[in-house]
Amino acid sequence: MKSAWNLVGMALWLLLICYFAYIIHDMRARRLRLIVTEKKSFTWRNFWISCSEVAIFLLFLWGMSYTTFFQDVKKLDTNRTTTSYAYKPLIIRYRSDQSDYVTVRNGNGRKPIQNYTYYVNGGKYLVNSMNATVVYGKSNLNVQAETYKWNKEYLDHLDTRYQHAWVATVTTTYKKNFFNGIGLHAGRQADRFSLIRIPDKSFMHVVGD
């Protein structure tokens, strides 16, 4: 477990499940009580009590589901997340007919994505176009990369230092606190995006054209 704060979220989900079981039991018990005491299977009072219990359950279910599964990390303030940046030079790969910094494998299907393979000092990395982009040419940013907050002066410095061949990765992590624990996110990675910079398209090996 990334943080003990996530026990808060686990406890809340458990309470929600227990409350749902209680609702089912309570509805059945009240109906049986009506049949025995009033010889009725339906009253408006009993109906509205059941509606209130279900409404409370659905409200809390929506809140927990949104916090756990649908929360947009980009809309959270700095009290909830931390952001870190890492920069590394790319290592060129030599082949018989071409030298390249990144290999692009085109996907297929209804929503095809691209897979990018690149090398830096320390290993091989595989990312895809859902959380990475390749930039070449005069600019070291494109529309997709500009959604993140980069130090543009430092990116220009990287261009000079590494001859337009580097990768910058921004990682957003949920802080270990009570509010992130509610959604079981405390200490977990929220988002990761890699900006792969190459001098020009000739340094990109495309597979699957």
Asked if residue 200 has pLDDT above 60, the reply is yes
**Mean pLDDT (the chain, rounded):** 93
Q: What is the mean pLDDT of residues 15-43?
A: 93
Residue 10 has φ and ψ, to the nearest 5°, of -60, -40
Single pTM value for the model:
0.84
Asked if residue 106 has pLDDT above 70, the reply is yes
Q: In terms of Cα–Cα distance, which of 148, 138, 135, 140 is closest to 193?
A: 148
- Give me the pLDDT at residue 209, please: 56
Amino acid at 127: V
Q: What is the mean pLDDT of residues 105-116?
A: 85
What CA–CA distance (Å, rounded) separates 116 from 123? 14
Higher-pLDDT residue of 44 and 209 is 44
Q: What is the mean pLDDT of residues 90-102?
A: 87
Higher-pLDDT residue of 73 and 65 is 65
- Give me the pLDDT at residue 12, please: 97
Asked if residue 132 has pLDDT above 90, the reply is yes
Which pLDDT band, with edges at 50, 70 and 90, does 1 fall under? low
Amino acid at 203: F
Asked if residue 110 has pLDDT above 80, the reply is no
